[in-house]
A and B are shown apart, each in its own frame.
Chain A
């Protein structure tokens, strides 16, 4: 069973600290979402795990070995770091064939991964003519060549259409179900909510949260109720008096926290307030994330 261990990882480029004393673990059998705003250090961390960049301090190991010490790396770790990282004038089949040969894998594996990613019909075409979605599939195909126990995807859904996004999402879930460790980075929180079992959140290279998805949502986003009523102003005062926190929701509604929808409904009945809508809000990972990382966004736009 291979697990990714990141321990005290630090990477500095000159004066810039891109990854700062980062520690986390990626366990097999689940999808671990690696979240952070752009520039948080996700890609750098992944490149260090893959032995492409050397850490300034700390370590990133697979099991207890450095990536560079793996005897047959493709059979242990598969990675999609950059879908554009193929030579555009090489045919998809030749690209995969060369990779397979470099790790002593049989030619039949090339056909198998082409089939699994649905690329058989374009195997003889040059990768330069591929759409982004097809390139992503080709990248995933090369990651799967050695049937590895650990998979690493860097922003795999970036720029994909809804169909492609759904395909990748289902695909990652099925890989985790097969008992593999899957680490997938994204800056799209909504994407992670539907894919990941575990979350590692970083900002400015530092660990912000390392927690299960449901715990994360419960702790950070939960518990607001949307209330729609013609007497919004008056009812807001009564809610506040009852101890709730009220924010202005989308016109003309109120976002109430600190009270359950049940309690709000009873309060409305008691004061004979007509309610047009009373709906508990799904805790939004997006909000939770914004809340967590607002101090660690590298470049913040001025709020109007």
Chain B
């Protein structure tokens, strides 16, 4: 009897400790792997951890990255407008599949639904890729001119100048500048994004609808996203209008008036309006980027040159190949994706200079 009482007393304690351990494990999975804000990492031995990955570490202040699924996807700690963009992409497709897809399969052809689904899938996939992938972030602290413990040393004045180097000939310059925040000599066309607080190769712009920069590694995906979204909107509008005006195309239709048609197919009417409204902004962006990419000019270069040189000359930068086809090819199909230059999913080595906190280089002025 006493032994049974002893066993009966132990059960609640072991259950509690297992429950607590399970909760701690789920919390760790959620905060350290599923959604990782390096500032909120749950790790009792964070300072001395040998098991951390690079994406779980943030020693440098001012970085705003949040990672998902073990560092595979990333976003910025800003207003989540990209979530709204995602909803605006998914919602009409869901409505289409539920309410209109069957009618189109029965009355016209299933291939229309398949084609729409494929183009929508492309659009959504490009959106996810453009908004969560690395745009071409460059590693930090690679060109620090002094030892990290000697920050009080006078910074070299040359590192605050614009360096012009020869490009196609001795009179065509490309400029190289030192980024005093990232501590690297930036190649031409690389810019420091103040929102992401990182240098991005061939930075086009920081897109608030994607909540990510558009740079060398995801510029072509961004362009494909615009093109597929415009195509998807046009296709959805056509399919919806076909459904609404189908009564005019057949002789033995039960529907006789437009009002009857939209009463019978209200979602099609809604989708028609929605797709026409949703077409406006992506269409304008697509035209704008078609124009810029035909000169091999990024948005940032165009805007910064426009201020100093005016409309026409701002399109003719050093990297303009003077061929529309070549420029379009380079931007839409030519540039390889490359590799991520900051391996976020690699194991973190304590003291790795790329992830250490280093204050911005400052010029001493007398």
To the question of whether A and B form a pair in one complex, the answer is no
- Chain B: residues with CB nearer than 8 A to chain A? none
- Chain A: residues with CB nearer than 8 A to chain B? none
